Chains A and B, each alone.
Chain A
Amino acid sequence: MIGQAKNATSSPAKDETPDSPLIQVKDLGVVFDAGRAGFWGKKRLQVHAVENVSFDIHPGETLGLVGESGSGKSTTGRAILGRVPVSSGRIFFQGKEITHAGKEAVRTLSRHMQLVFQDPYASLNPRMKIVDIVAEPLLVHGLVKNIKAAAGEVAQLLELVGLPPDAGARYPHAFSGGQRQRVGIARALALKPQFIVADEPVSALDVSIRAQVVNLMQDLQARFGLAYLFIAHDLAVVRHISHRIAIMYAGNIVELADRHLIYESPVHPYTKALLSAVPVPDPPVQRARQRITCPGEAPNPMNPPAGCRFQSRCPYATQTCRDTAPVLTRRRPGQSAACWNC
């Protein structure tokens, strides 16, 4: 075990092979200050939102990042975009380190990396016309002089995401949730990025609309070779859009695998419990399914337990799990998990 770990750290990443990753995240850690406690505030409270998270994303690939609320999935996405200070670990974009890039560097980087938000009602300024919203990134980056000069490009972008040509002259309130999310996507695409972090882009949408947005994102990926970090809690949607899937629990990645492996042969007990918790919309099938319930709730991120963070809910927990945190290790080609007992 120890020999393996040494090997992994001593061999540097293969540099710039034809299929080198677009994004590399290595041992990412994010800690938030949460005030002070104790006698005269001598004890600092910290929330360990993300710990030891590592993954790659290749050009044109979708990595699904799945977890329950508080698992650190959004924080991971925001850390990559430089919107959250990184406490430990390193982040690379096209082989260059961007972990602690300054304000200017983040601005330049944001041409290549964009964010699509969860709530299409809160993420569009209600006082701005659609044309202004979509053209704003172009103006900010000095690619156009004024809104008029951007008109042609905005019209193209709106057509690309399937909005009517007259949409630009209207305000967000005139649109439904699905249409607003299309505006959000058009805005993210304005700078022709290579990488988009989509933070729960369809969670706020109704079922009949959800598929429209997911299909649009897939079409855009095929057309422009975009890479996505698709953050979600809905395992069924993630299955459709992702090439690989990472399952997060309480700040750690517990399993990372090709999409079919996650669903057909999950390894980690949490992945299994998560999959069996999603009800299948088919009464006889759902009744017949064997359900693995995991009792209890996720640990407090202010005071996570030593060892594996899933130990309190895991049916297989042993003394090793309580003492030492497991690391992500390869189980079969295309699948790794962080667990001592599986």
Chain B
Amino acid sequence: MSASRNVPLLEVRDLVVNFYTRGGVVQASRGVSFQVDYGQTLGIVGESGSGKSVAVQAVMGLISTPGRIEGGDILFQGRSLLDQAGKKFVREVRGKDISMIFQDPMTSLNPVFTIGTQITEVLRHHMGMTRDQARRRAMDLLGLVDINAPEKRLKQYPYEMSGGMRQRVMIAMALACEPQLIIADEPTTALDVTIQAQILELLTDLQQRLQVSVILITHDLGVVAQLCHRVAVMYAGRIVEVGDADQVFASPVHPYTKGLIRATPRLDVVTERMVSIDGVPPDLISPPRGCAFSPRCDQAKKDCLRAQALTPLGDDRHVSCWCAIKGDTR
């Protein structure tokens, strides 16, 4: 809380993460930079393999062998999380000030402990509560995520709950220590649409009420549209466009963002033919030279063989594309 509000809550700078596999070095994150401000929701969208999960796993310290963070820095309230000297600080921050909601609530809850044990464990460890205090707080938390009969639920095991209910428990655990940042990695992908709608409604409501910052990883542009203030679009281990969500959706600049928005079928618009992006995403063991999207891009030219860094275009928009910057194809 002591940090001044001039520094962003979280800042990721030129993050490089490589995975050393038998097949070669997978360059999962090739210089990713973004920041999240207080009370803001940032959506990170991208297709599978674009490196969106790796970026936030690095923030949470979840990159393990064969993966290695090989460059860049992650700053939380201005202090580095990668710094060897700050190990104690890191342990305090992760799990307390930054918490995480995973995609699959079945595998991220421990099947052999009750819900109650799992929530109170977090509270006793990070907040130093007594058994009784923790129990009372756990009941409040379950109420906060709209779970009825919390007393009964605390005694239940994960298998006794449905997918939607488990995800609510995960959210309650994420909120337990009053974090300043919640990272939600595809929180609704494993759920049915009507349950997804319930969870999204809950997340929107909690975000506004508690004024917590959220990073939402998803491949679904619809989910971003409902929840996010800002959006970052990732492709092949890099952010290709980032900006205010309304503006990015209304006037995308990067050809990949444009393609992605056009390719996403909409319920409210009828077209006879679906639009696709030709070709396939690149192999990150040997990514193409320069702009990774250029082999699939219809505006590609010579310049695209040289990589273009994220360049500001005004009004909080940053894009990495030669065409967009020179011709300003907006």
Distance (Å) between the CB of B56 and the closest chain A CB? 19
Q: Give chain A residues whose Cβ lies under 8 Å from the Cβ of B85.
A: none
Given the known interface contacts A280-B222, A293-B201, the answer about A208 and B263 at a Cβ–Cβ threshold of 8 Å is yes
Given the known interface contacts A283-B225, A291-B201, the answer about A206 and B193 at a Cβ–Cβ threshold of 8 Å is no
Surface stretch bound by B, among A111-119, A144-152, A229-237: A229-237
Q: Taking chain A's interface residues, is the majority helix, strand, or loop, or is none over half, making it mixed?
A: helix
Distance (Å) between the CB of B110 and the closest chain A CB? 23
Is B263 a contact of A207 with CB atoms below 8 Å? yes
Is A236 a contact of B280 with CB atoms below 8 Å? no
Is A281 a contact of B266 with CB atoms below 8 Å? yes
Is B201 a contact of A282 with CB atoms below 8 Å? no
Is B221 a contact of A209 with CB atoms below 8 Å? no
Is A286 a contact of B225 with CB atoms below 8 Å? yes
Is B193 a contact of A282 with CB atoms below 8 Å? no
Partner of A275, one of B221, B267, B275: B267
The 8 A CB mask of A36-78 against B (1 = contact, 0 = none) is 0000000000000000000000000000000011000000000
Is A237 a contact of B259 with CB atoms below 8 Å? no
Is B266 a contact of A69 with CB atoms below 8 Å? no
The 8 A CB mask of A256-292 against B (1 = contact, 0 = none) is 0000100100000000011111111111111100010
Q: Give Cα A212–Cα B265 distance, bound, in whole angstroms.
A: 12
B160 at the interface (CB under 8 A from A): no
**Chain B residue at minimal CB-CB distance from A279:** B222
**Chain A residue at minimal CB-CB distance from B188:** A279
Is B276 a contact of A281 with CB atoms below 8 Å? no
Interface residues of B in 146-203 (CB under 8 A from A): 162, 164-165, 192-198, 200-201
Q: Give Cα A154–Cα B219 distance, bound, in whole angstroms.
A: 35
Given the known interface contacts A240-B271, A283-B249, the answer about A278 and B193 at a Cβ–Cβ threshold of 8 Å is yes
Given the known interface contacts A208-B259, A208-B263, A274-B194, the answer about A279 and B280 at a Cβ–Cβ threshold of 8 Å is no
Is A179 a contact of B280 with CB atoms below 8 Å? yes
A295 at the interface (CB under 8 A from B): yes
B104 at the interface (CB under 8 A from A): no
Interface residues of A in 231-263 (CB under 8 A from B): 233-237, 239-240, 260, 263
**Chain A residue at minimal CB-CB distance from B265:** A236
Q: Give Cα A105–Cα B281 distance, bound, in whole angstroms.
A: 44
The 8 A CB mask of B211-233 against A (1 = contact, 0 = none) is 00000000111111110100000
B260 at the interface (CB under 8 A from A): yes
Interface residues of B in 68-100 (CB under 8 A from A): none
Is B198 a contact of A207 with CB atoms below 8 Å? no
Q: Give chain B residues whose Cβ lies under 8 Å from the Cβ of A276.
A: 197
**Chain B residue at minimal CB-CB distance from A289:** B268
**Chain A residue at minimal CB-CB distance from B162:** A297
Q: What are 5 of the A-B contact pairs (CB < 8 Å)? A: A176-B280, A218-B273, A279-B200, A283-B245, A285-B225
Question: B residues bordering A, Cβ < 8 Å?
Answer: 47-48, 162, 164-165, 192-198, 200-201, 219-226, 228, 245-246, 249, 259-261, 263-268, 270-271, 273-278, 280-281
Q: Which 8 A-B pairs give the minimum distances between C-beta atoms?
A: A279-B222, A211-B276, A281-B221, A277-B197, A68-B192, A211-B274, A236-B265, A208-B277
